[in-house]
Every structure is written in C-alpha cells, then in structure tokens.
C-alpha cells in the first residue's frame, strides 16, 4: 500500500501530478490565489467565472432537446432505450416480480456490499456471457466485479489496464459509441481507431479492419462490440470473427469486449455471446464489460459487470485484488438493488425463462420495426437503397442520413436523433413509422 502512495510512475499518479502543477501555475498566473478574499467573493466575479458552458452530450443531449419540444407528434429516436408499441418505457414483468420478492424479504438489509459487489451476481454474469459450461469458469480463471453498468465496467477495466498492462494503446472501431474514446482517454490509455464501417456498402469494411489490426503494435488492446455494433448495426459474420480471432491471437492483441446488447441482436442470449465465447474457447485472455441496461431494461439502476478471463486461477485472483484498488477510490462499492434483481432472475430457472421470452419479444418488435420502416420507404418510392435497414441488427439503424438532413427532420418533423444519422429502432412503433418515413422521404428528396 505504501508503495501505491509514494510511487509516481503510474498513469493515474502522473495525471494527478500534472493536474496539480497545472492548477498551481494557473492560479499564480491569473492571480486568483492572491486575489481571493471573502469580500471579493461576495461582490466580485465568481471564482468560477472562467468556467465555460459545455455542449450537451451528443446522445443524451438529444433527449434534453426532445423534452423541451412541446409538439404532440415529437419522436425521440436518439438514446437507445426500448419503448413499447404505445411509446412507453418498459419495465419487464420478470423484473417487477423480482423486485416484489426482494421487497417481501424482511431479512434484506442495506449494508455496504463488498468492493467487488454481490458474489452470486458476479458468478451468474460470467456464466451468462461465457456460457454455463465454460472451462474458464470451471477452472476459476475468471474474475468478475460488479460495476456501474456498461460504462462503469469499461472504465474500471480501462483504469486497470492503464496501471498494469504494458501496452497503453487501445484500438476502437471507426465509428463507435461516442463515449468510448472519452472513457479510455480519461483512464489514461491512448486511443487509436481501426476501420470498421464502409459507407459505400453500408456494411463491414472487413479488409480495412484486418489491415489496421494487422499493423497495430503487438500487444495493443482492441475494443470489440460483442454484438449489435453501435451505431452501425453491422456485425462480422462468425467466419469473419474467426479470422479476427486468429489475427489478434497471432499478434497478441488483447480483446476488450463491450457487451451492451446481449440478446438484442438476435433475440438469443447464447447466439449474441458467440463472438466472446470464441475468444474464450482458445484459452487466451480477454476482458468483457457487460451491461444489463438494455437486455433487462435496468437502464437507470446501473447494473453491469467486468470479467477478466485469465490463463490461471492465480493470476485471476491477483487481478481481482488490483481491481478492488481501482474501485475503492472510484465509487467504493456498487449499489445493491439492481444487481439483486439480476441475481434473483438469473438464479431461478423459471424466472430466467420468463426473461428470455420478454427479451425475445423486445428484439422481435425491433426487427418488425425495421421491416415496417423499410416497407414504408419503398411505398413512398424514397430514392436510394434502404435494404440496410433490414440487414442491420440490434437497437440502431445507421441510416446514412447526413447532419443537414437530420437537422431538417428535427426542425420540420420534430424527430430527434443523433447527428450521425443513427436512429433507435426501439423508440419507433407502428403508429409512428409513417411519420418517420415521411420525414426521411422529405429529407432525402428536398436535401439530396
Ligand atoms: N456500450 C455501448 C456500445 C453502448 O451503446 C452503451 C449505451 C453502453 C456501452 C453503456 O451503457 P450503460 O452504461 O447504460 O450500461 N449506449 C446508449 C446510451 C444506449 C448512452 O449513450 O449512454 C446509446 O444510446 O448509445
């Protein structure tokens, strides 16, 4: 522990020292350190008057704008949050049932959890993503820690790598979820991209991907979307995954899977975990960040897990001890409620089955919305090939609409989406499809 505090070689320490130096210099230069007095703070400018107004988040800011719009026809297709056919947020029945059970259990208390969270939740989460028969789990080579949803799991994993992994460069797909570069940069990693999406085919740029990973320095970290790639909705085929695996293992590239949509791509939890399981089956090491936001509809409960699959049980337990040192000063220990819901559902075979049925229904509704939107554009004779709407998978369609067209649709049709042309299919319903198709048709014909 002593060593932890005195060493100045870790990236976290270096960042902290740089920040302290910067603040000290800035306050001397601007004179704020000397000028401060109780009187000047009452009558003069705020000591924070230099703080500039930050822009809204590119995804969550869409909801902020949507909430301000009084129009009755407004439609929020920004954030990836599931809505029912009635356009309402959905709490799964099985989640309500689990909550009721938890509520009825008078033995439950509100004590702090251990730093790594609920043991059952961690075991069951690893089983869910790696498979019940995973040798890695049986051989105790996996360590899992409960984190704050997918984002928190990614951040904890990244902080660990910045401290303990020899390569500090992470390759992320181009494009990717907008929060990825920020999470990894702030954790102290250096972010580079690999080619992923080809706008001309609206499919995977597989050649570009292989070339870029092929020329990445040996040992680099590679972020992979386990399924339902966000924002493109384009995933490699199983054969392509196998080629990616071989290439990455041959160059000792370290896979960091982001699994935020297990069950949402195909409707099957097992099928959507195949990419991850392929990389675990070869006995190599990897990181996996899981989120229960979408597949269990637990968005605001912030439930997720980080698993590290290691070569040996011994390494796994040492890594866990270090993950605790990352978590303790970050959020101390995770919250109880959401993870208790998940553990209750995962450990009861009937509830688990109920969950898979509700999950499949959500995935199917999204798939049906793809078909309906595609048909509606065809009926209107909207110029262009829209088959990518039904080919892409997961929560989003990457429409190919440009930022001007998006702006037009928001202004004229009160349809809210991210400026890259991504629409959340989960926010669409049979009732709103024609409004969206009208808007896309107008955008494409009036602003080609
Ligand atoms: N990873 C990917 C690929 C995601 O798309 C998201 C969420 C997360 C991780 C993190 O989710 P969590 O922390 O809530 O578990 N992406 C959303 C929401 C659905 C967001 O931007 O926060 C999106 O609209 O892209």
Return the best residue to mutate from 179, 305, 418 for the ligand 1 pocket (most ligand atoms within 8 A of CB).
Answer: 179
What six digits make up the tokens of 361?
């229904």
Is ligand 1 within 6 A of the CB of residue 297?
no
From ligand 1's centre to the CA of 285, what distance in Å?
Answer: 24
Is residue 182 flagged as an active site residue?
Answer: no
pTM, 2 dp:
0.90
Is residue 294 flagged as an active site residue?
Answer: yes
Is ligand 1 within 6 A of the CB of residue 303?
no
The pLDDT of residue 17 is 57
From ligand 1's centre to the CA of 191, what distance in Å?
Answer: 19
Is ligand 1 within 6 A of the CB of residue 309?
no
Is ligand 1 within 6 A of the CB of residue 149?
yes
> What is the residue with the minimal CA distance to atom 19 of ligand 1?
80
Contacting residues for 280 by C-beta, under 8 A, at least 6 apart: 130, 134, 136, 286, 309
φ, ψ dihedrals at 250, nearest 5° = -65, -25
> What is the residue with the minimal CA distance to atom 2 of ligand 1?
260
Tell me how many degrees the CA angle 55-23-15 measures, rounded to the nearest 5: 80
Tell me how many degrees the CA angle 444-447-448 measures, rounded to the nearest 5: 65
d(CA 288, CA 227): 12
- Ramachandran category for residue 6: left, alpha or beta (phi over 0 → left; psi -120 to 50 → alpha): alpha
> Among 236, 278, 228, 237, which residue's Cα sits nearest to residue 258?
228
The pLDDT of residue 34 is 43
d(CA 117, CA 104): 22
Q: Which atom of ligand 1 is nearest to the CA of 176?
A: 3
Q: Which atom of ligand 1 is nearest to the CA of 79?
A: 24
Of 74, 177, 235, 386, the catalytic one is: 177
The pLDDT of residue 131 is 97
* Cβ 197 vs Cβ 176: under 8 Å: no
d(CA 253, CA 241): 14
Determine the number of helices (DSSP H) and then strands (DSSP E) in the chain: 19, 13
Contacting residues for 282 by C-beta, under 8 A, at least 6 apart: 245, 249
The pLDDT of residue 44 is 75
Is ligand 1 within 6 A of the CB of residue 79?
yes
From ligand 1's centre to the CA of 66, what distance in Å?
Answer: 18
From ligand 1's centre to the CA of 275, what distance in Å?
Answer: 19
From ligand 1's centre to the CA of 163, what distance in Å?
Answer: 25
Contacting residues for 286 by C-beta, under 8 A, at least 6 apart: 254, 255, 256, 257, 276, 279, 280, 308, 309
Q: How far are the Cα atoms of 36, 337, 411 from residue 343, in angstroms, in the given order?
A: 52, 10, 44
* Cβ 83 vs Cβ 427: under 8 Å: yes
Q: Which atom of ligand 1 is nearest to the CA of 258?
A: 1
Is ligand 1 within 6 A of the CB of residue 125?
no
d(CA 268, CA 231): 20
Per-residue confidence in pLDDT tens, the chain, 448 aa = 334 444 445 655 656 555 555 455 444 444 444 444 444 445 678 999 999 999 999 999 999 999 999 999 999 999 999 999 999 999 999 999 999 999 999 999 999 999 999 999 999 999 999 999 999 999 999 999 999 999 999 999 999 999 999 999 999 999 999 999 999 999 999 999 999 999 999 999 999 999 999 999 999 999 999 999 999 999 999 999 999 999 999 999 999 999 999 999 999 999 999 999 999 999 999 999 999 999 999 999 999 999 999 999 999 999 999 999 999 999 999 999 999 999 999 999 999 999 999 999 999 999 999 999 999 999 999 999 999 999 999 999 999 999 999 999 999 999 999 999 999 999 999 999 999 999 999 999 998 8
Residue with tokens 């369609």: 397
Of 212, 258, 420, 438, the catalytic one is: 258
Half-sphere exposure of 188 (CA within 13 A, CB side): 21
φ, ψ dihedrals at 137, nearest 5° = -70, -45
Q: How many CB atoms lie within 10 A of CB 439?
A: 22
Is ligand 1 within 6 A of the CB of residue 258?
yes
* Beta-sheet pairing, 254-259 with 286-291: parallel
Domains annotated on the chain, with CATH: 59-90+363-446 (3.90.1150.10), 112-347 (3.40.640.10)
> What is the residue with the minimal CA distance to atom 1 of ligand 1?
260
Give the burial class of 55: count Cβ atoms within 10 A of its Cβ; 0-12 exposed, 13-18 middle, 19 or more buried. Answer: exposed
> Among 315, 349, 8, 289, which residue's Cα sits nearest to residue 149?
289
d(CA 18, CA 72): 50
* Cβ 347 vs Cβ 410: under 8 Å: no
The pLDDT of residue 117 is 98
Of 97, 212, 272, 294, the catalytic one is: 294
* Beta-sheet pairing, 396-398 with 422-424: antiparallel
- Compute CA 378 distance to the chain's CA centroid, rounded to the nearest angstrom: 33
Helix (H, G, I), strand (E, B) or coil at 111: coil
């Amino acid at each position: 522990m002593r060593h932890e505090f005195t060493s100045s070689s870790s990236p976290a320490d270096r960042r902290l020292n740089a920040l302290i130096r910067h603040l000290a210099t800035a306050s001397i230069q601007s004179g704020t350190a000397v000028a401060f007095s109780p009187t000047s703070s009452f009558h003069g400018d705020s000591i924070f008057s230099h703080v500039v107004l930050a822009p809204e988040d590119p995804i969550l800011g869409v909801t902020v704008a949507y909430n301000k719009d009084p129009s009755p026809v407004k439609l929020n297709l920004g954030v990836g949050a599931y809505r029912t056919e009635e356009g309402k947020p959905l709490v799964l029945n099985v989640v309500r049932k689990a909550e009721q059970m938890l509520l009825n259990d008078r033995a439950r208390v509100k004590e702090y959890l251990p730093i790594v969270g609920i043991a059952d939740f961690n075991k069951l989460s690893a089983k869910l993503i790696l498979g019940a028969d995973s040798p890695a789990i049986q051989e105790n080579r996996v360590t899992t820690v409960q984190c704050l949803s997918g984002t928190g799991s990614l951040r904890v994993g990244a902080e660990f790598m910045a401290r303990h992994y020899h390569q500090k460069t992470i390759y992320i797909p181009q494009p990717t979820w907008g929060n990825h570069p920020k999470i990894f940069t702030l954790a102290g990693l250096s972010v580079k991209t690999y080619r992923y999406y080809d706008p001309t085919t609206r499919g995977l740029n597989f050649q570009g991907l292989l070339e870029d990973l092929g020329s990445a320095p040996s040992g680099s970290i590679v972020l992979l979307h386990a399924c339902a790639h966000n924002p493109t909705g384009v995933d490699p085929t199983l054969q392509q995954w196998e080629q990616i695996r071989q290439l990455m293992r041959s160059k000792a590239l370290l896979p960091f899977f982001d699994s935020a949509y297990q069950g949402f791509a195909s409707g099957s939890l097992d099928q959507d975990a195949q990419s991850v399981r392929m990389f675990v089956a070869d006995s190599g090491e990897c990181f996996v960040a899981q989120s229960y936001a979408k597949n269990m509809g637990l968005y605001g409960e912030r439930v997720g897990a980080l698993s590290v699959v290691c070569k040996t049980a011994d390494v796994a337990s040492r890594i866990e001890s270090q993950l605790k040192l990352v978590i303790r000063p970050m959020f101390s220990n995770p919250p109880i409620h959401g993870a208790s819901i998940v553990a209750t559902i995962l450990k009861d075979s009937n509830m688990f089955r109920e969950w898979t049925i509700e999950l499949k229904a959500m995935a199917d509704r999204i798939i049906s919305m793809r078909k309906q939107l595609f048909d509606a554009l065809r009926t209107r004779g909207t110029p262009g090939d829209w088959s990518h709407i039904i080919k892409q998978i997961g929560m989003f369609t990457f429409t190919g609409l440009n930022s001007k067209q998006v702006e037009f649709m928001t202004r004229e049709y009160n349809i809210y989406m991210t400026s890259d042309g991504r629409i959340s299919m989960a926010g669409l319903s049979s009732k709103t499809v024609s409004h969206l198709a009208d808007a896309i048709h107008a955008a494409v014909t009036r602003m080609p």
